[in-house]
Structure 1
Amino acid sequence: MSSAPQSPRWDVHRLPHARGRAFLVTGGNAGIGYFVAEQLAGTGATVVLGSRDRAKAEAALAAIGARVPDARVRHVPLDLADLASLPASVDALGLDRLDAVVHNAGVALDHPPRRETADGHELMFATNHLGHFALTHYLAPLLTATPGSRIVTTGSFAAKSERLDLDDLQSTHDYQPKRAYARSKLAQMLFALELDRRLRVGGSTTLSVLVHPGGALDSLTPSRPPVHVRTTGERLSRLPLGLVVQGKDAAAWPAVRAVLDPGVRGGEMLSPRAFGLRGTPRVEPLWSHLSDTRTAARLWAASRDLVGADPAFTAPTGSGRTKGSATGVGV
């Protein structure tokens, strides 16, 4: 008896070639985002680092260039907390198509006081969720012009035990930094899944995929000077933790697979294989509260009202778009 051919097992160390494709990684200058960018650059693709800090971005470009011969990497200024700046950032990409964006950038505050952006939004909710929501809106023409494009959103294990307060999305009352961070990441995750539902209803070929990186420590992360330097002492002192969590290089694997693996489907969540904390990436069943479509729809409506934009993907018309037209999505 013959059986249907199976897709080859995904190998994080043998990534497929992606020359001719273009990827944007928000926050690609440091942490997990840096390793997402480095690994994608190794496929031959053009990788754009979206970062508000030019000096850190240039350091990341140098580090990637030192490890990936002939890397096609560059930087565009991107400040997700400044909504008015996002159209210019998308225009600065200089692209007429985009194969994937990895919504990775984020901010985590450990202590009060509560901080707001110039738009009056709580900083973590604004950067982690609202900024990516609005950025998706402005990137829609580029993604629509690319059949099979992907929007990869990075969630967090911190969101697993949280629930949104739809009456206080921006933590105006009883502000607790760690809770506010976890809720901002939960908002991102609900957005990713609601986005995929809307893409399917609209008949779009663009996929929205959710990932979470598991547990990632600097002390288990290989050195990438000048972006990250790990001392021998740090490595040895945290070595036992490597049985439970991992470095940020491995934490990048779910996002990289979500971008590159042709077998990935929209609405899936990829996470580390061992208890969602470490190991190679696999598709994980959605956490129960991530399937709450009513809350996700209400969050979408509130986000749309807060940023004044509504990510919408329609079939491209004509022969395609030209550079500089990426801000032309109606709201």
Structure 2
Amino acid sequence: MTTAAEKTVLVTGGNAGIGYFVAEQLAGAGASVVLGSRSDAKAEAAMGAIRSRVPGARLRRVRMDLADLASIKSSVDALELDSLDAVVCNAGALLDGPRRQTADGHELTFATNHLGHFVLVRWLLPLLAAAPAGRVVTTGSFVGKSAQLDLADPQSARDYEPKRAYARSKLAQMLFGFELDRRLRAGGSTVASVVNHPGGALDSLTPSRPPVHVRTAGQRARSLPAGLVLQGKEAGARPAVRAVLDPAVTGGQLIGPRMFGLRGRPRIEPVRGQLADTTLAAQVWAASVDLTGVEPV
């Protein structure tokens, strides 16, 4: 069995937010961590912050823009790895303002959060299959559970609203994670796909990690009531870290915070409702193939 110290893990969006704390916690456990980031400067700042807390942390970065689907294979090639133990598909965009499109014509939130990871997994699967027990860990969202996804308009061309588009993209991600595991199992692959979500993870409840994140005394005081039912991003990272490191975790499982799915230590959650809808998941998969031109499995 591969120990944490023998694992190499790619964390998309590892330079900020929950992804930063996933990277920090994995590095603290001894894993070699690659931070996927659009910004070299932000990735360097994040690595400096991690090293200040984890002396000797094994870190590197790779430039990765998930909204630019054609560039993703080059980012994977730049890893220069023979195998990869896990990828944490964490990077996400929650935008303000009017609907925006990528150069490929995809809605920016849906492209970054879902389609980019869909393509990334396609190019990473040979590396994951070369590891003893590769894992794809997809970070969804509590709000994705209750989103409504119109497969005739998955990119919200008709009724775009930023938070709704974000929730839809997260539902698509989670359904992809479960469908991926079913397809991997059917093909006899040794790679497992696990889904997680951080619960209610707020910046105001997140400890400072300068220069990546700085919480003021005022923010801390104002956030105390919320801390009764929600948590910070350091705690929100723990379900993803467990999904990577816990040898008892198996493909197709959902991991989230223990208390009402909003805060607390990570636990295995039942897969219910839309997340258990295999027909919807297969339809999301087919739509994603149509939109990207690639098929992971």
Give TM-score scaled by structure 2 length: 0.98
Q: For residues 17-32 of structure 1, what are the structure 2 equivalents within 5 Å?
A: 18-32=4-18
Q: For residues 1-331 of structure 1, what are the structure 2 equivalents within 5 Å?
A: 18-111=4-97, 113-312=98-297
Q: Which amino acid aligns with 2:89?
A: H
1:185-243 Cα deviation digits (max 9, x unpaired): 00000000000000110111111000000011111111111101111221112112111
Matched residues in 1 for 2:3 and 2:53: separation?
A: 17
What secondary structure is seen at the aligned counterpart in 2 of 1:197?
helix
Larger-Rg structure:
1
Computed over aligned residues only, the root mean square deviation of the Cα atoms, in angstroms, reads 1.1
Q: Which amino acid aligns with 1:105?
A: A
% identical equivalent positions:
70
Deviation at 1:17, TM superposition (A): 5.2
What secondary structure is seen at the aligned counterpart in 2 of 1:283?
strand
Matched residues in 1 for 2:207 and 2:165: separation?
A: 30
Q: Which amino acid aligns with 1:88?
A: S
Matched residues in 2 for 1:162 and 1:188: separation?
A: 12
What secondary structure is seen at the aligned counterpart in 1 of 2:6?
coil
1:20-42 Cα deviation digits (max 9, x unpaired): 21000000000000000000001
Matched residues in 2 for 1:139 and 1:24: separation?
A: 10
Q: Check the 8 A contact 2:274/2:280 in 1, yes or no.
A: no
1:243-265 Cα deviation digits (max 9, x unpaired): 11111000000000000000001
What secondary structure is seen at the aligned counterpart in 2 of 1:130?
helix
- In structure 2, the residue matched to 1:329 is none
1:24-61 Cα deviation digits (max 9, x unpaired): 00000000000000000012211000000111111000
Q: Check the 8 A contact 2:256/2:266 in 1, yes or no.
A: yes
Q: Which amino acid aligns with 2:77?
A: D
Q: Which amino acid aligns with 1:41?
A: A
1:98-155 Cα deviation digits (max 9, x unpaired): 00000000001233x1100001000011010000000000001100111211000011
1:80-100 Cα deviation digits (max 9, x unpaired): 000111011001111100000
Matched residues in 2 for 1:94 and 1:280: separation?
A: 35
1:272-312 Cα deviation digits (max 9, x unpaired): 00000000000001131111111111111111121111102
Q: Which amino acid aligns with 2:286?
A: A
Contiguous gaps of at least 5 residues in structure 1: 1-15, 313-331
Q: Which amino acid aligns with 2:289?
A: R
What secondary structure is seen at the aligned counterpart in 2 of 1:19?
helix
Q: Check the 8 A contact 2:144/2:168 in 1, yes or no.
A: yes
Query: How many pairs are equivalent?
Result: 296
Q: Would you identify which runs of 4 or more consecutive aligned residues in structure 1 move more than 6 Å?
A: none
**Deviates further, 281-290 or 189-198:** 281-290
**Deviates further, 81-90 or 172-181:** 172-181
What secondary structure is seen at the aligned counterpart in 2 of 1:116?
coil
